[in-house]
């Protein structure tokens, strides 16, 4: 028997052995009982519309499209994804949610936007209990973001993001610096990079106005230093002594020349681009952006891509914003039961695990939300331990104030941060005081104070 024949025979044998294994695997996925679905297909022929963002982004596309045919085969329920670009998603979400005749049954939404549509969402508490969903499998920040800090579950965690430090291991090694664990250490490492004379910006921040992204790292500074946006009586306190110190630290990266001057106008994407194109050594952003650095065209970037938890405050706390997209069901949906069936499958640990382990579809993503998946060894092995880092960040992550007025307050805060960043001589205390007055005006108009 010549070599070619031997290879053909071996391949045939391998295929013969692999077929039953594949069938067992497929059977496991195709069994409705695995997902708690009703095998009798009571909703056969039902069609659901899912309002979701950003089909071009793997983290959404993968979750929405992978296996949707499998779900239809198991239940007879078909699902259409109403993809809307991120730039117009917020507006579309509000219009559809408030429309009594909307065609959409299921919606994914940003945590902060959810507060404005809670009245239009079907409470999921009974569903979570009946379906046996392990609520504790979601971290505290994600639980808060799904409930608006209330007892009502408005959505189930769907896509969630901790903040990570994305950095160039070679640059830090060249200056003999350890990975910074606090914002103050970040400044020290930045100074070391400047002193080394390397032709690279130490850190790439984003202080520009774009969907309020310039607040993400500011929250981490505030919370880490020990203050907050509001006190327990909803009085603004971000302008207190600690808030000013935290904001001074946050503005210092551009004021001290560690972050490029142009970062005062950058959004998150532009700042990340500096890292990807080799012009910056560090960037603090969402973990879904990790793949950009790992897949960077420049080998000095991709080969030296490294990640760590976003820094905390020296002598204080480590607390960053855990950003969540929950998925909920519109109260006016005519197909509530079928929608709940879909939610069972969509948010099931098996579905979530399969999504992060699938490397075949071109929709690779590291994004998972369940603590059990984040702790999964196989998942971590597939993504270089990213989920483990995320899990560490999420153990102390928090969410923003989830009140309807916050969408009115956010532009005040974002413009304030932008104003502080663009003027190196700006009086931070004075600007924060004015912002606090504006915020108080909004809260007062909404009836938060007995005055």
Partner 1 sequence: MRKKRWVPWVLVGPALVVVFATTVYPLLAALYYSFHKYDLRKIPQFAVQLASQPGDPLISIDWSLLSLRNYTLAFSDSRFINSLNVTFWFTLFSVALSVIIGLFIAVVVQKNGRLQSLTKVLLIFPFAVSPALKGYSWRYMLNDQYGIYDLLAVELVIKPINVIIELLNNLPLIDITPINETVVWLADQFWALFMLAMSETWGWAPLIALMFVGALGSIDEQIFEAARIDGANRLQIFWRVTLPLLRPVILIVTMLKTIFSLKMFDQVVTMTGGGPVRATQTINYYIHQVGFVRNLDIGYASALSYILVVILTVFAALYVSKVLNRD
Instruction: Report the interface residues with partner 1, using CB under 8 A.
Output: 87, 90-91, 94-95, 98, 116-117, 119, 208-211, 260-262, 264-265, 267, 270, 274, 279, 404, 407-408, 410-411, 415, 418-419, 422
Nearer to partner 1, 13 or 261 (CB): 261
Nearer to partner 1, 327 or 413 (CB): 413
Give the nearest distance from C-beta 210 to partner 1 in angstroms.
5
Give the nearest distance from C-beta 356 to partner 1 in angstroms.
31
Query: Which strand ranges, in their side-by-side order, compose the sheet holding 106-108?
Result: 78-84, 47-53, 106-108, 323-329, 156-161
- Give yes or no for a contact between 284 and 310, defined as CB atoms under 8 angstroms apart: yes
Give the nearest distance from C-beta 92 to partner 1 in angstroms.
9
Nearer to partner 1, 56 or 129 (CB): 56
Give the nearest distance from C-beta 54 to partner 1 in angstroms.
16
Nearer to partner 1, 25 or 149 (CB): 149
Taking the C-alpha atoms of residue 224 and residue 182, their distance in angstroms, rounded to an integer, is: 9
> Which among 148, 181, 99 is positioned nearest to 324, based on CA atoms?
148
Q: What's the DSSP call for residue 288?
A: G
Looking only at the bridges linking them, the beta strands covering 163-168 and 305-309 are: antiparallel
Give the nearest distance from C-beta 209 to partner 1 in angstroms.
4
Give the nearest distance from C-beta 119 to partner 1 in angstroms.
7
Structure tokens at 392: 């560490």
Taking the C-alpha atoms of residue 270 and residue 208, their distance in angstroms, rounded to an integer, is: 10
Nearer to partner 1, 111 or 352 (CB): 111
Nearer to partner 1, 251 or 355 (CB): 251
Nearer to partner 1, 237 or 442 (CB): 442
Strand spans (E) along 77-226: 78-84, 106-108, 156-161, 163-168, 201-203
291 CA to centre of own chain? 14
- Give yes or no for a contact between 373 and 388, defined as CB atoms under 8 angstroms apart: no
Taking the C-alpha atoms of residue 435 and residue 19, their distance in angstroms, rounded to an integer, is: 65
Taking the C-alpha atoms of residue 166 and residue 205, their distance in angstroms, rounded to an integer, is: 12
Taking the C-alpha atoms of residue 415 and residue 402, their distance in angstroms, rounded to an integer, is: 20
Give the nearest distance from C-beta 323 to partner 1 in angstroms.
18
């Amino acid at each position: 028997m010549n070599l070619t024949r031997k290879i053909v025979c071996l391949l045939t044998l391998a295929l013969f052995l692999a077929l039953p294994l594949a069938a067992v695997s497929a059977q496991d996925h195709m069994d409705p009982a695995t997902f708690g679905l009703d095998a009798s297909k009571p909703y056969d022929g039902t069609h659901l519309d899912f309002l979701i963002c950003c089909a071009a982004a793997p983290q959404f596309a993968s979750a929405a499209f992978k296996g949707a045919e499998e779900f239809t085969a198991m239940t007879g329920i078909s699902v259409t994804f109403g993809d809307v670009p991120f730039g117009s998603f917020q507006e579309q979400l509000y219009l559809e949610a408030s429309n009594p005749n909307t065609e959409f049954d299921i919606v994914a939404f940003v945590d902060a936007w959810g507060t404005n549509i809670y009245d239009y969402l079907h409470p999921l508490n009974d569903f979570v209990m009946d379906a046996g969903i392990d609520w504790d499998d979601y971290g505290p920040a994600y639980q808060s973001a799904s409930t608006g800090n209330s007892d009502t579950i408005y959505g189930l965690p769907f896509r969630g993001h901790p903040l990570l430090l994305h950095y160039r291991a070679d640059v830090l090694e060249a200056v003999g610096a350890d990975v910074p664990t606090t914002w103050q250490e970040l400044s020290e490492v930045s100074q070391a990079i400047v002193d080394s004379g390397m032709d690279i910006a130490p850190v790439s921040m984003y202080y520009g106005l774009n969907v309020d992204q310039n607040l993400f790292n500011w929250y981490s500074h505030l919370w880490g230093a020990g203050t907050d946006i509001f006190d327990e009586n909803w009085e603004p306190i971000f302008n207190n002594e600690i808030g000013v110190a935290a904001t001074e630290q946050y503005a210092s990266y551009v004021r001290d020349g560690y972050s490029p001057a142009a970062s005062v106008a950058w959004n998150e994407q532009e700042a990340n681009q500096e890292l990807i194109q080799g012009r910056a050594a560090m960037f603090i952003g969402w973990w879904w952006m990790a793949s950009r650095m790992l897949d960077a065209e420049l080998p000095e970037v991709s080969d030296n891509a490294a990640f760590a938890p976003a820094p905390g405050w020296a002598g204080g706390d480590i607390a960053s914003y855990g950003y969540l997209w929950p998925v909920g069901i519109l109260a006016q949906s005519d197909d509530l039961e079928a929608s709940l069936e879909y939610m069972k499958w969509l948010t099931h640990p098996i579905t979530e695990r399969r999504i992060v382990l699938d490397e075949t579809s071109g929709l690779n993503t590291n994004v998972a939300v369940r603590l059990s998946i984040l702790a999964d060894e196989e998942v971590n092995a597939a993504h270089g331990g990213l989920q483990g880092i995320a899990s560490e960040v999420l153990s102390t992550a928090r969410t923003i104030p989830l009140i309807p007025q916050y969408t009115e307050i956010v532009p005040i805060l974002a413009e304030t941060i932008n104003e502080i960043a663009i003027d190196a001589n700006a009086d931070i205390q004075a600007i924060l005081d004015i912002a606090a007055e504006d915020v108080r005006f909004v809260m007062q108009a909404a009836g938060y104070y007995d005055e």
